[in-house]
């Protein structure tokens, strides 16, 4: 079966390579020619463990190609996947301009029956709007629109795509459902649960899932903040909570607040959508507010530890990506913290194993890009660990201390042991203990 994947970002590229691995003939297209040229040379425009091997294997075996000829790729395919970005529109909703521009391209090239599968995360009701939009432009050609949300996590995207917890297929068309089941048939063999439903329910599943996970994070962050006030250790609390099967230990890690390309925007979009429909989603509103406060709490921790005034202070930041094993910095708490430190008059020097290039696009020459973790410590009044990359887990503490102006360590991920840090001579602060 021939497939066209529109958008070769974190989701489109992984999905394209993954579907080729499932035996489909996939053409990945993108409107950014440089990305396609890189991919044609076998280079990855993003950092994602395991992706290069999957790409090389499927290109070599002739199932995967990259092209900027979007029209041709659409015309040659039975199924066209949409994996374009749906960022925040600045007012809390989702910006669907990329999606609709790709939909228009599909409409222009609809030369026979096709399935249009929406992988992008889109507000409930979008599939319906896509159907209406195409129906207005094209007469007499059959097509179906399937909502097929993606649940992969950056950093383990390949593994997640090849071994998902579930596949959600939303459509009212039996023909389209059968085609989608065929595409994902290798997953039947590993007994992956399939959820077959309508478009609206499928769209809602994605938002409800992301918002629930975000809620768990805000919940444990709130518990952590209370722990700080009452002298309890949030790690022990979270571990004991997680031993209860009804709660589960996943997503109970206190930290600097959730970030990334999904949780913040999707939580806001669901909040926005509910309010548009006349319902005030108080709990979701709190999830968002707690997260905003949590990011600011990290800045306040640093401010307090350097004596109350950040002006003229040198702050070293370990980690810029929103989580380890990705170069994605979209809505990363580290980006927020760095900006606030700069606003308060501090000098920032940062290191990240993969994301300095992305950080440079945001901060230009306003911060110093360090060569490694020890270089971050050079002359610093405080170190802030923002992303728990493995490289930062067992740093030589004496070497760090030797290079710093003052041995202050704010650990927003609770990677280090407070007693060990105190013994090493650090003024140390974590989250919730």
Ligand X SMILES: NC(=O)c1ccc[n+]([C@@H]2O[C@H](COP(=O)([O-])OP(=O)(O)OC[C@H]3O[C@@H](n4cnc5c(N)ncnc54)[C@H](O)[C@@H]3O)[C@@H](O)[C@H]2O)c1
Of 337, 324, 318, 329, whose CA–CA distance to 395 is shortest?
Answer: 318
Burial of 275 (0-12, 13-18, 19+ CB in 10 A): middle
101 is an interface residue for ligand X by CB under 6 A: yes
Residue 360, helix vs strand vs coil:
helix
State which residue, 10 or 22, has the beta carbon closest to ligand X.
10
Which range, of 71-79, 80-88, 298-306, 395-403, touches ligand X by CB under 6 A? 80-88
Q: How far is CA 38 from CA 14, 60, 66, 67, 373, in A?
A: 15, 16, 10, 11, 30
373 is an interface residue for ligand X by CB under 6 A: no
77 is an interface residue for ligand X by CB under 6 A: no
Which range, of 48-56, 82-90, 223-231, 282-290, touches ligand X by CB under 6 A? 82-90
CB of 83 to ligand X, least distance (A): 5
Q: Are 5 and 17 in contact (CB under 8 A)?
A: no
CB of 104 to ligand X, least distance (A): 8
DSSP secondary structure letters along 196-209? EE-HHHHHHHHHHH
7 is an interface residue for ligand X by CB under 6 A: yes
262 part of the active site: yes
47 is an interface residue for ligand X by CB under 6 A: no
Cα within 13 Å of Cα(427), Cβ side: 14
85 is an interface residue for ligand X by CB under 6 A: yes
∠ CA 18-354-39, nearest 5°, is: 40
Considering only residues 27, 77, 109, 120, which one is a binding residue for ligand X as defined by CB under 6 A? 120
CB of 210 to ligand X, least distance (A): 8
By beta carbon distance, the residue nearest ligand X is: 9
CB of 36 to ligand X, least distance (A): 9
Looking only at residues 245 through 274 of this chain, which bind ligand X when binding is defined by CB under 6 A? 261-262
Residue 336: which residues within 8 A CB-CB, separation 6 or more?
Answer: 257, 259, 295
∠ CA 329-333-339, nearest 5°, is: 90
Looking only at residues 201 through 220 of this chain, which bind ligand X when binding is defined by CB under 6 A? none
Considering only residues 17, 20, 102, 176, which one is a binding residue for ligand X as defined by CB under 6 A? 102
150 is an interface residue for ligand X by CB under 6 A: yes
32 is an interface residue for ligand X by CB under 6 A: yes
Residue 302 is encoded by which pair of tokens?
């640093």
Query: Rg of the chain over CA atoms, in angstroms?
Result: 23
- The binding site for ligand X (CB under 6 A) comprises 6-12, 29-32, 35, 70, 83-86, 98, 101-102, 120-121, 150, 152, 154, 261-262
Residues acting as catalytic residues: 262
């Amino acid at each position: 079966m021939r497939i066209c994947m529109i958008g070769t970002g974190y989701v489109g590229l992984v999905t394209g390579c993954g579907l080729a691995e499932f035996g489909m003939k996939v053409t990945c297209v993108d409107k950014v020619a440089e990305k396609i040229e890189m991919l044609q040379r076998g280079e990855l425009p993003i950092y994602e463990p395991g992706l290069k091997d999957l790409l090389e294997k499927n290109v070599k075996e002739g199932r995967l190609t990259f092209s900027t000829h979007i029209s041709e790729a659409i015309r040659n395919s039975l199924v066209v996947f949409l994996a374009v970005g749906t960022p925040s529109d600045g007012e809390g909703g989702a910006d669907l301009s990329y999606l609709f521009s790709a939909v228009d391209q599909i409409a222009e090239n609809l030369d026979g029956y096709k399935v249009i599968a929406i992988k992008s995360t889109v507000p409930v009701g979008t599939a319906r709007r896509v159907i209406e939009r195409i129906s207005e432009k094209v007469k007499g050609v059959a097509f179906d629109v399937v909502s097929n949300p993606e649940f992969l996590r950056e950093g383990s995207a390949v593994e997640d795509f090849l071994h998902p917890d579930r596949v959600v297929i939303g459509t009212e068309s039996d023909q389209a459902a059968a085609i989608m089941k065929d595409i994902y048939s290798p997953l039947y063999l590993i007994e992956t649960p399939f959820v077959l439903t309508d478009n609206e329910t499928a769209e809602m599943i994605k938002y409800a899932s992301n918002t629930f996970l975000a809620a768990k994070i805000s919940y444990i962050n709130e518990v952590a903040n209370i722990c700080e006030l009452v002298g309890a250790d949030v790690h022990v609390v979270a571990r004991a909570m997680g031993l209860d099967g009804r709660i589960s230990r996943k997503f109970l890690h206190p930290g600097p607040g959730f970030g990334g390309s999904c949780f913040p925007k999707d939580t806001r979009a669901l909040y926005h959508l509910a309010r548009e429909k006349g319902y005030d989603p108080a709990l979701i509103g709190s999830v968002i507010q707690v997260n905003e406060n949590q990011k600011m709490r990290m800045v306040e921790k640093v401010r307090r530890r350097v004596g109350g005034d950040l002006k003229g202070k040198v702050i070293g930041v370990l980690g810029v990506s929103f989580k380890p094993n990705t170069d994605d910095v979209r809505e990363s708490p580290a980006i927020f913290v760095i900006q606030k430190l700069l606003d308060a008059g501090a000098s920032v020097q940062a290191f990240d194993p993969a994301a300095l290039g992305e950080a440079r696009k945001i901060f230009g020459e306003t911060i110093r890009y360090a060569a490694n973790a020890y270089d971050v410590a050079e002359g610093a009044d405080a170190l802030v660990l923002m992303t728990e990359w493995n490289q930062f887990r067992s740093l030589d503490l004496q070497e760090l201390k030797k290079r710093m102006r003052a041995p202050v360590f704010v650990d927003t991920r609770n990677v280090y042991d407070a007693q060990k840090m105190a013994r090493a001579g650090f003024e140390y602060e974590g989250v919730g203990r």
